[in-house]
Structure 1
Amino acid sequence: MWVYILKRLLLMIPTLFGVLLLTFVVIQFVPGGPVEQYLAEARAGAGGDSGAFSYRGGQGVDPKRLDEIKALYGFDKPATQRFWEMLGRFARFDLGTSFMHNKSVSELIAEKLPVSISLGLWTFLISYGVAVPLGVAKAVRAGSRFDLVTTLLVLVGYAIPGFVLGVALLVIFGGQLQWFPLRGLTSANWDELSWGARVVDYLWHITLPITAMVLGSFAVTAMLTKNAFLEEIRKQYVMTARAKGLSERSVLWKHVMRNALIPIVTGFPAAFVGAFFTGSLLIETLFSLDGLGLLSYESVIRRDYPVVLGTLFLFTLIGLVTKLVSDLCYVWVDPRVKFD
């Protein structure tokens, strides 16, 4: 076991290196970098006071000023040198400083993370807390009217994109009926509210975004649980347990549950961590929630390379560790699994 863990940890190093190298190389060929964007802003502001100091009409930007701009963004060094310096910072968990926000990438992630945690945690809890019991109920009543109706509802919900559902929820419940707010996680006077009122206000704001996000993962988890339970219920050991006189409840929850939950529990760490860090660009944009999804999108559009590479390094590392934990869960759930 420990040898396997050590091998997986060592394999993370070339994996991280490959991901960062590939992304860094692609970035070098993408037009419209921070220097080019600065020059474009200088041309746009040449007629006013803001850009006149750097842009000289048809003569363009002063060469000395251009060198200063490149040095400011670190583009005065060769690409290979910049890449190795970046790896050195990442090895110290220094994710760099954002061009656009003039803040460290770590601070930006810390600022945006509460929004993504709010969306991800509720989506995760609802998906597993409701979908797993529903999947068990569907497996026990397989072929019944309850199974057919719930399957239809789950699949219809899964077929509706979260963004489309979010628009519909905003129009109906936020616009026409005005039951829920249209934007933000809290009201403007949230600091003045009591603790009880803050909780109610927060839940009032989060209802529509969570409803729009939860349907896709909810459907997958429910159907996966149902199919896993159906496969186990038909096995010989279940028939033997029933023949010995055990109650159906005991057979289901003490014998079938442990084996049926293997594919669900092994995906639990990835779903739990992913719920915090993945975010949802469309949902965050639609409901004006400033989270990690919107930060990642803006950093790509604005060519904020430290944010792009810093978040990529952090999330890739978290993903690799989470994948290792998911694999180790196989042994925890089923001791018969041996990695050697």
Structure 2
Amino acid sequence: MAAYILRRLLLMIPTLIGVVTLTFVVTQFVPGGPVEQIMTQMRHGGSHGGEGGGGSGYHGSQGVDPQQVEQLKKQFGFDKPPLVRYMSMLRNYASFNLGQSYYQHQSVWAVIRSKLPVSITLGLWTVLLIYLIAVPLGISKAVRNGSRFDTATSVLVLTGYAIPGFVLGVLLLMLFGGGTLWQAFPMRGLTSDDFDQLSMAGKVLDYLWHIALPVTAAVVGNFAIVTILTKNTFLEEISRQYVLTARAKGAPQRDVLWKHVLRNAMIPLLTGLPAAFVGAFLNGNLLIETLFSLDGMGQLSYDSVIRRDYPVVLGSLYLFTLIGLVTKLIADVCYVLVDPRIQFDRLDR
């Protein structure tokens, strides 16, 4: 196991370098970089407020003092050749120094940390509720395969799957957010303005009150995948020979289901849990965050690309790629821990 984990860790290095290199090269050809944006503001009488380093070159400084252009290039680090900036970036990333944001006047680490609570909240509650509801539901559907219960629940989960999260969010706001019917839930933020003055119980209730609608919008469309996967996995296990043998020996149905079938059927669900959680909060749901005025990673990613805040774009991509690779490794290790019959050397094939 140790050799496999070490091999996987070493393979992460070229993967990270490849992702960062490709993104860095792309940014060199994207028009409208930070220097260009400031020059546009200056030509139209605006003021500039960006600072940092790295990104694409400047195109179109007509009508602006060349000395100002050179100062801005130096300020953003564009006075250095791309290869020099690239090597400097790799050295910094090796020590987990992600640089400074151009426009937010703080480190990329600080920017990401300020957005993570929203994304972790949405991701954690989304995955938790999906598994707590969809897994038991899938088991019940497998046991009652073909019944009215199975048909009715299939219609419900597939209907939820067909409704986009942001459409459901708009509907929830209209019904329960003061849109047209009932002002039952707040429309923005994770907490109220007087959150610090509330008791512990009051803080918990206030927090749950604020996340009820966005979490519901994010969860409903994801029930179908886990529910159907659970049902099909259980049906496949129930039809295996060891289950028929256990039943032939007179084992109670409950023991067959929970002691024999459950362990094997839960392998794909348990091993996918780390990746599902990390994916849920790292991806960030821009539409839901925007709809409910939540400032999370989805909004940060969108704003960084639009404003050409390249340190944030490159730094967050580097960090999340690293987390994704580590999570995939954890998922593989969990797979072997759940089913000892799996051998590590076969996971590489």
Using structure 2 for the length normalisation, give the TM-score. Answer: 0.92
- Alpha-carbon distance in 2 for matches of 1:83, 1:34: 17
Which structure has more relative contact order (CA 8 Å, sep 6+)? It is: 1
Match of 1:78 in 2: 81
C-alpha distance in structure 1 between counterparts of 2:163 and 2:338, whole Å:
34
Show the counterpart of 1:311.
316
What's the counterpart of residue 137 of structure 1?
A: 140
Tell me the equivalent position of 2:229: 224
Shift of 1:217: 2.3
Q: Which residue identity lines up with residue 78 of structure 2 in the other structure?
A: F
Looking at structure 1, the residues matched to 45 and 210 of structure 2 have their Cα atoms a distance apart, in angstroms, of 40
Q: CA deviation at 1:24?
A: 0.7
Cα distance change of structure 1 residues 132 and 59 upon mapping to structure 2, 3 Å threshold: closer
* Distance of 1:43 and 1:201 partners within structure 2: 48
Provide the rounded CA distance (Å) in 2 between the counterparts of 1:198 and 1:338.
Answer: 47
1:107–1:143 distance in 2 versus 1, CA, 3 Å: same
1:173 maps to which residue? 176
The answer to whether residue 297 in structure 2 is matched with residue 286 in structure 1 is: no
Partner of 1:55: none
Rounded Cα–Cα distance in structure 2 between residues aligned with 1:197 and 1:5 = 45
After superposing the two structures, state which structure 1 stretch, 192-201 or 329-338, moved more: 192-201
Q: Which moved more, 1:312-321 or 1:197-206?
A: 197-206
**Alpha-carbon distance between aligned partners in 1 of 2:20 and 2:62, rounded to the nearest angstrom:** 38
| Alignment-derived partner of residue 68 in structure 1 | 71
Instruction: Supply the distance in 1 between the matched residues of 2:66 and 2:108 (Cα, whole angstroms).
Output: 30
Q: Which runs of 5+ in 1 are unaligned?
A: 52-57
The match for 2:20 is: 20
- Cα distance, 1:141 vs structure 2: 0.6
Q: Cα–Cα, structure 1 residues 59 and 296, in superposed 2: closer, same or farther, change >3 Å?
A: closer
**Alignment equivalent of 1:247, drawn from 252, 259, 283:** 252
Distance 2:29 2:292 in 1: 34
- Aligned position for 2:5: 5
Deviation at 1:191, TM superposition (A): 2.1
Q: Which amino acid aligns with 1:295?
A: L
1:323 equivalent in structure 2: 328
The TM-score with structure 1 as length reference comes to 0.95
Supply the RMSD in Å over aligned alpha carbons: 1.3
Specify the alignment match of 1:192 in structure 2: 197
Structure 1 residue ranges, 4+ long, deviating more than 6 angstroms after superposition: none
Tell me the residue number matched to 1:160.
163
Whole-angstrom CA distance in 1 between matches of 2:22 and 2:113: 26
Deviation at 1:12, TM superposition (A): 0.6
AA of the residue aligned to 1:113: L
How far apart, in 2, do the equivalents of 1:194 and 1:325 lie? 38
* Deviation (angstroms), 1:275: 3.0
Letter in 2 for 1:44: H
Counterpart CA distance in 2 for 1:290 and 1:318 is 21
Structure 2 counterparts to residues 77-156 of structure 1, below 5 A: 77-156=80-159
Q: Helix, strand or coil for the counterpart of 1:266?
A: helix
For 1:82 and 1:218, the matched residues in 2 are separated by 45
- Mapped partners of 1:189, 1:325: distance in 2: 40
Aligned equivalents of 2:13, 2:37: Cα separation in 1: 34
Shift, 1:276, TM fit: 3.2
1:260 partner letter: A
Alpha-carbon shift at residue 59 of structure 1 (Å): 6.3
> How many pairs align?
331
Secondary structure at the aligned position of 2:344 is classed as coil
Distance 2:340 2:196 in 1: 51
Q: Give, in whole Å, the separation in 2 of the partners of 1:256 and 1:162.
A: 33
One-letter amino acid matched to 1:171: M
Question: What letter is aligned with 1:270?
Answer: A
Partner of 1:267, secondary structure, is: helix
Distance 1:228 1:64 in 2: 68
Partner Cα distance (2:15, 2:120) in 1: 27
Distance 1:300 1:219 in 2: 32
1:323 counterpart letter in structure 2: K
Could you tell me how far apart the structure 1 residues matched to 2:260 and 2:337 are? 16
SS in 1 for 2:4: helix
Shift of 1:41: 1.4
Q: What is aligned with 1:54?
A: none
Task: Give the distance between the partners of 1:199 and 1:8, measured in 2 at CA.
Answer: 41
